[in-house]
Every structure is written in C-alpha cells, then in structure tokens.
Amino acid sequence: MKVFPFNIPKPQNIGLIYQEDKALYFYDKLHQHEEIQLCTIIKGSGTLIIGDAISDYKAGDVLVIGSNLPHVFKSNASTNETSFMISLFFTEGSFGHDFFNLDDFKELKSFFKKSLFGCKLLSNQQKIQQHFLALQQASNLKRFIGFFEILKQINSSKTIPLADFLSPKKYTDNQGKRMRNIMDYTIHNFNTNIDLQKISSKANMTPNAFCRYFKQRTNKTYFSFLNELRVDNACKLLVGNKDLSISEIAYESGFQNLSNFNRKFKEVKKMTPSAYRKT
C-alpha cells in the first residue's frame, strides 16, 4: 500500500492500517493524512520536514506523526542503500467513535496530546522496533494486539516534539498541491539560487501573496525555511565529508558566500560550522 498525497487508501472494514515502505527513496512529496502514523526506520537516513520544522531521521528511529500534520521524508541522495520503514495508521475513531474515550484508555491522553505536534522517541527505540518487526508476518488480530503494545511503550517513552507550530487549518486538496509544489521544488533545488520571483511562480502567486501564504501555514518566512534546509544539508556534509572544506560545503548547500553561510549556520545551530564539525 502506498501513501498518496493527502490521503491514505484504506481497505474495507479495516481499522488499523499496516504498511511497509521499501525503496531507494521514501515517498518524498509533502503530504498529510487524517490518520496518526506510528513508524520506525529499519534502514535509511535523511531529512524529515514536518509542520514547520526540519530534523533528521536514521535507522532505529521511532516516530509519531500526528493527524493532518504535513510532512515529507527526504532520503539522503548520497547513498544507494534501500530505505525501509514500517508504519501503522489509525485515527481516534478507527475502532469506534468513543473507543479511546473509554476509561480503559485514560493514560493515553498524553499520547494523543503529543501526537498533535509529532514526536521522536529518545528511549525504548530498540524494544519498540522489535514489536514492529514482529508485525510483518502477523495476522490482523495479532497486529491489533501488537499495536497496543507499541502504543503502550511509546506512551511511557521519553520524546521530543518534531514541530513547534500547527497550521490553523487543514489543507484542502488545492492548497495541499500548492504547498507540495513549493516544498518539492525547494527540496530538489535548495542548493541553487532561489529568489522570491522564482518560488512564488511555482505557487502561481504574486510575491507578496506568496509570502503571506507561506508564513500563515508555517509560522516562518520562506527564506528562513530555505536557510534551515541548507544548514541541515551542510550539517550532513560537515560530518560525512571530512575532505570538503567549509567554504566548499557552503557553496554545495546553496549559500553564495562564506560569511552569509557562517552567519545563517550560527543562527540555526547556535554554533559555527567549524565548531559543529569538531563536536
């Protein structure tokens, strides 16, 4: 089963959706779905853009992506390793409108609250990943039982939020396609010279209308987002490509001069590129 933009295809009469993604790249288009997504990365690494935030993902990670939270997985282009992710999708109403309102599930209220912004686990990842792997050959009933074990483990784990801001409105299909075009172009061209005229044309908007549109939906300016994406790429190069100089990394990440790169890097990471490489 493949995740389509802004919609998860659901088999008839199935409340819990199990999905495996195995490919050179994960689905790299911005998308959202009503279902909460619990997932673990078995193989692969890259950048996760979720809501208004940019972070990394790697093998062993366990992630929670909330209902209607726009997100995109950008696999590292420098590796030929097959990416592999196992996911479970469900909504609060998947098993009956009042199912999770039963007193039996009171302790899960904190989980649903955390899921709104998405979260990454800081503990119990290995144990939870084993539960995910056990679902591969399981029957629907055993997957349902395993799902609650995973949910219990996630609920008792230490987490960090993945997003800081929630768009006040769910994307319509047209809005989703527009934002997806913006993200798709940015993700694949962040290391080129992107000006306001160029990116606003991708959204079929005037520059002023585009600036308002992007800020309303991400709580940050487009160029703040673009610089964060460039800095994220620079971080990967600083760690993984020791032979590249800092100036070479700056240009490969889309910065036009070294002083601007150093300034923007420090704004995002609170340290200089050289200090980041050392740590």
- Higher pLDDT: 225 or 174? It is 225
Q: Is the confidence at residue 259, as pLDDT, over 90?
A: yes
Q: Is residue 80 included in any domain, yes or no?
A: yes
Q: Answer yes or no: are the C-beta atoms of 276 and 269 closer than 8 Å.
A: yes
Same structural domain, 231 and 104: no
CATH number reported for the structural domain that contains residue 73 in this entry: 2.60.120.280
Residue 241 confidence (pLDDT): 83
CA angle 91, 96, 98 (to 5 degrees): 95
Residue ending a domain, among 127, 161, 195, is 161
Among 20-29, 49-58, 83-92, 260-269, the range scoring the smallest mean pLDDT is 20-29
204-222 pLDDT per residue, tens:
999 999 999 999 888 889 9
The amino acid sitting at 55 is S
Q: Of the ranges 170-179, 205-214, 237-246, which is most confident?
A: 205-214
- The total number of structural domains that make up the chain: 2
Q: Is 22 in the same domain as 155?
A: yes
- Give a yes or no: residue 167 inside a domain: no
Among the ranges given (159-173, 175-189, 200-214), the one the predictor scored with the smallest mean pLDDT: 159-173
Domain boundary residue among 109, 132, 161? 161
Mean pLDDT within 14-30? 84
**Could you tell me the residue range of the domain that residue 87 belongs to?**
17-161
| 92 lies in the same domain as 184 | no
In a domain, 233, yes or no: yes
Residue 128 within any structural domain of the chain = yes
- pLDDT of 2 > 50? The answer is no
pLDDT higher than threshold 90 for residue 40: yes
| Residue with the two structure tokens 């200089």 | 272
Q: How far apart are CA 14 and CA 16, in angstroms?
A: 6
Specify if 101 maps to a domain: yes
Do residues 129 and 54 share a domain? yes
Q: Could you give the residue ranges of the DSSP H alpha helices within 135-221?
A: 140-155, 173-189, 196-202, 207-218
Do 177 and 157 lie in one domain? The reply is no
Q: Is residue 145 part of a domain?
A: yes
pTM given for the model: 0.81
106-137 pLDDT, tens per residue? 999 999 999 999 999 999 999 999 999 999 99
Among 105, 134, 161, identify where a domain stops.
161
Q: Which amino acid is at 44?
A: G
pLDDT of residue 166: 66
Query: Tokens representing 74?
Result: 């950008």
Tell me if 41 is assigned to some domain: yes
Q: What is the pLDDT of residue 243?
A: 87
Distance (Å, whole) CA 2 – CA 11: 12
One domain for residues 273 and 234: yes
Handedness of CA 203, 208, 209, 210 (dihedral sign): positive
pLDDT band at 247 (very low <50, low <70, confident <90, very high): very high
d(CA 126, CA 40): 10
Pair (58, 131) in one structural domain: yes
Query: Residues 106, 207: one domain?
Result: no
CATH number, domain containing residue 237: 1.10.10.60
Q: Do 60 and 149 reside in the same domain of the chain?
A: yes
Looking at the fold, whether 22 and 150 belong to one and the same domain comes out as yes
Same domain, 157 and 202: no
Mean pLDDT of the chain: 88
Task: For residue 46, tell me if it sits in a domain.
Answer: yes
Residues 150 and 56 in one domain: yes
